[in-house]
């Protein structure tokens, strides 16, 4: 349908670093592009459930003008596979974990987020959790590129 509002779910492992960053970036950039798209994020693991995003992710993201307001970690739920139009994994381990639990009918919604950044040489957003501060800037660089690619694709659907 021409005016149906699309919904995108960003998924990583802990839902405190990469996928909240992806949501923050996509939320701002899609709004700036004039798109009305619902977005959320979740983790294949739920052990950080209820927590706000990692302080390092917030600090790196805020420095580029992104807001993490209202974000709290949660695990992926069965209902997500039907509710979202696109479910975008940050790395192949996340994608494989999603593939294992996603009903057959919705498997085509599962993709790597960097599929929308084909001109980079990266397929995965590297996990910054155990690394230094610069890892979070690298994550932001990749997420900004993929967000632009995703917005371009979504624009074709409206």
Q: Would you please indicate which residues are annotated as catalytic (active-site) residues?
A: 12, 18, 127
Residue 100 to residue 96: CA distance in whole angstroms = 6
Whichever of 102 and 143 has its CB closer to ligand 4NP, that residue is 143
Residue 40 to residue 88: CA distance in whole angstroms = 11
Binder among 9, 13, 143, 151 for ligand 4NP (CB under 6 A): 13
- Give the three-state DSSP class for 102: coil
Whether 17 contacts 97, CB under 8 Å: no
User: Nearest Cα to 147, choosing from 62, 94, 63, 88?
Assistant: 88
Whether 125 contacts 137, CB under 8 Å: no
- Does position 56 interact with ligand 4NP (CB under 6 A)? The reply is no
- The window from 16-24, 97-105, 111-119, 147-155 that contacts ligand 4NP (CB under 6 A) reads 16-24
Binder among 8, 9, 10, 18 for ligand 4NP (CB under 6 A): 18
- Does position 72 interact with ligand 4NP (CB under 6 A)? The reply is no
Residue 33 to residue 89: CA distance in whole angstroms = 23
Q: How far is the CB of 19 from ligand 4NP (least distance, A)?
A: 6
- Does position 17 interact with ligand 4NP (CB under 6 A)? The reply is yes
Binding residues for ligand 4NP (CB under 6 A): 12-18, 127, 129
């Amino acid at each position: 349908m021409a005016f149906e509002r699309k919904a995108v779910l960003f998924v990583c492992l802990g839902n405190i670093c990469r996928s909240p960053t992806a949501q923050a970036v996509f939320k701002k950039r899609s709004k700036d592009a004039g798109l009305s798209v619902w977005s959320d994020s979740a983790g294949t693991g739920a052990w950080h459930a209820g927590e706000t995003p990692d302080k390092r992710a917030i600090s790196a993201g805020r420095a580029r003008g992104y807001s993490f307001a209202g974000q709290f970690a949660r695990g992926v739920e069965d209902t997500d596979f039907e509710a979202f139009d696109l479910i975008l994994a940050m790395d192949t381990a996340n994608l494989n974990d999603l593939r294992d639990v996603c009903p057959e009918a919705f498997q085509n919604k599962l993709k790597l987020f960097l599929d929308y950044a084909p001109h980079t040489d990266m397929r995965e957003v590297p996990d910054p959790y155990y690394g230094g501060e610069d890892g979070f800037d690298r994550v932001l660089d990749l997420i900004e590129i993929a967000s632009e690619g995703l917005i371009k694709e979504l624009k074709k659907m409206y």
